Amino acid sequence: MSIGIVILAGGRGERMRMDIPKPMVSVGGKPLIDFPINEALLFLNKNNLKGGITSVTGYLHEMLDEYLKENFIENGVEMDLVLQREQLGTAHAIQMYVEQNKNAADYDYTLILCGDTPLIRERHLSKLWNILNQEKLDAVAASFLEDDPSGYGRIVEGDSGFHIVEEKDADEEIRKISEVNSGLYIVKTDFLLDNLREIDSDNKAGEFYLTDIFKDNRRVQAVLFDDPESFMGVNDVKQLEEAGLFLNFEKIDLLRNEGVRFIDSTTCYVDWDCSIGPDSVIHPNVIIRGRSRVDKNVVVESGCILTNSIVEEGGQLRPYSVLEEAHVGKNAMIGPFARLRPGADIGQESKVGNFVEIKKAVLDKGVKVSHLSYIGDAHIGENTNLGCGFITCNYDGANKNFTDIGENCFIGSDSQMIAPLKIEDDCYVGSGSTINKDLPKGSFAVSRSKQVTYKGMARKFLKKKGQ
């Protein structure tokens, strides 16, 4: 059996008031449209179905098409793009799909998803699919009960079959119906094609409603789901926020089931594509974003923000550390108040302490940089100790230059390295040195002006009160 999957993403989404296509608006760390695409792929895989995915784009389609090409099609996802030049309604969008995708009519079934329902999961698609097959129906629509059904199409049951009345066209009685249409359908393709032809735009919105394929006294059924939050559509910024919160809740629940411990998950935000290993502990007020990967047995203390970063097993992020495209090796300790910028690569068992900023620098195993430092464009060899206030002077006003420090070095506090520079293994640099010449292996270097001491002269500068 084969199934064509259509994701409707052509609408203007004008209630969002944004200047990007709605399907590209981010929730849980990625565009809305990623969710139906990923769930559709899981559905095909789980049910062993042959099928293809088509996205119907329209409003600002150049931007959306490019996004889909770069992130799905070029990554091996088989997807067709169909253009709906004018947004004349959901049935018109399907009409465009049928006209432009030459395989559309060949699939036995057609599954239709909206690009703005990010909480629908593979399990919902599979349940709908099973009911369609078991009950030998021509079409099914997923429905749910909504206390405030405004904006949704209402499910009106017939003696058999049902039909859908959109909010705009509903009279007072129908508006009271709390069973609403989710916009998720599976339909026999023949049935879809037959009924699509009959749809007109004779309604208040003047749109071609796909919902008109459902009629009383047909072999169609509205399948009522008992988790209404999964079906919410994102039409305005309030719903976007709500969807984000549900998504976070769902994500945290999944992580808990995998053995991640939260002290107070209501204050934590974890993007959908992040992973956290078992036995890790996440303290309150932590944000983990993008595609971050936190391995097992990691402690993330309060106030930490991770973006697209990796923390390996046993790592410890102490409070208020901020990581962006950074990599932290096994058992390394970061913070409190550390800032790891893109390209910071901290070796296992290394220690990066408070008020340390690291950018584009590799620290090998066991490096210590415990206090108040800046390290940019550098490599620091194994077991080297960088004293308090150490700085790489990597930028000369025109170019970024590299500092390469070998292993087992001791660099005294308040030292600066004026890059480009190479310090070989086993060197010792005295505190307060400004180093601008390479050091051969095993060197001692100190560069500071000679101290002068005048006994008793302090009196001259320390004026006592009343003198």
Active-site residue list? 371
SS3 content of the chain, % helix, strand, coil (to 5): 25, 30, 45
Q: Does the protein bind ligand UD1 through residue 90 (CB under 6 A)?
A: yes
Residue 439's DSSP bridge partners are: 423
DSSP conformation class of 181: E
User: 171-206 as b/e, with b when 16 or more CB fall inside 10 Å?
Assistant: eeeeeebebbbbbbbbbbbebbbebbeebeeebeee
CB of 132 to ligand UD1, least distance (A): 19
Residue 84 makes CB contacts below 8 A (sequence gap 6+) with 10, 56, 57, 58, 92, 93, 96
- Segment 393 to 422, residues that bind ligand UD1, using CB under 6 A: none
* Binds 27: which of ligand UD1, Ca ion, none (CB < 5-8 Å by kind): none
Region of 209-217, 222-230, 310-318, 351-359 interacting with ligand UD1 (CB under 6 A): 209-217
- Cβ closest to ligand UD1, residue 90 vs residue 307: 90
d(CA 298, CA 290): 18
Preceding peptide of 336 cis, ω within 30°:
yes
**What six digits make up the tokens of 422?**
């190479």
- Cβ closest to Ca ion, residue 34 vs residue 116: 116
CB of 34 to ligand UD1, least distance (A): 13
CB of 296 to ligand UD1, least distance (A): 39
- Cβ closest to ligand UD1, residue 198 vs residue 253: 198
Residue numbers at the binding site for Ca ion (CB under 5 A): 116, 233, 235
Q: Which of 209, 214, 225, 269 binds ligand UD1 (CB under 6 A)?
A: 209
- Segment 117 to 136, residues that bind ligand UD1, using CB under 6 A: none
Residue 72 makes CB contacts below 8 A (sequence gap 6+) with 37, 79
Q: How many residues does the chain have?
A: 467
Q: Does the protein bind ligand UD1 through residue 98 (CB under 6 A)?
A: no
CB of 271 to Ca ion, least distance (A): 23
CB of 306 to ligand UD1, least distance (A): 31
Contact 335, 319 (CB under 8 A): yes
- Cβ closest to ligand UD1, residue 164 vs residue 196: 164
Q: Beta strands 344-346 and 327-328: pairing type?
A: parallel
Q: Does the protein bind ligand UD1 through residue 84 (CB under 6 A)?
A: yes
CB of 36 to Ca ion, least distance (A): 12
Region of 101-109, 208-216, 360-368, 417-425 interacting with ligand UD1 (CB under 6 A): 208-216
Contact 431, 387 (CB under 8 A): yes
Q: Does the protein bind ligand UD1 through residue 93 (CB under 6 A)?
A: yes
- Cβ closest to Ca ion, residue 206 vs residue 440: 206
CA dihedral 311, 313, 316, 320 (to 10 degrees): 30
d(CA 149, CA 172): 12
CB of 235 to Ca ion, least distance (A): 5
Q: Does the protein bind ligand UD1 through residue 58 (CB under 6 A)?
A: yes
Q: Which of 161, 233, 329, 335 binds ligand UD1 (CB under 6 A)?
A: 233
**What six digits make up the tokens of 270?**
């974890």
Q: Does the protein bind ligand UD1 through residue 89 (CB under 6 A)?
A: yes
- Segment 14 to 53, residues that bind ligand UD1, using CB under 6 A: none
**Residue 7's Cα: distance from chain center in Å?**
20
Q: Does the protein bind ligand UD1 through residue 181 (CB under 6 A)?
A: yes
Residue 4's DSSP bridge partners are: 52, 110
- Cβ closest to ligand UD1, residue 58 vs residue 329: 58
Which positions touch ligand UD1 (CB under 6 A)? 8-11, 56, 58, 84, 87-90, 92-93, 114-116, 152-153, 164, 166, 180-183, 209-211, 233, 235
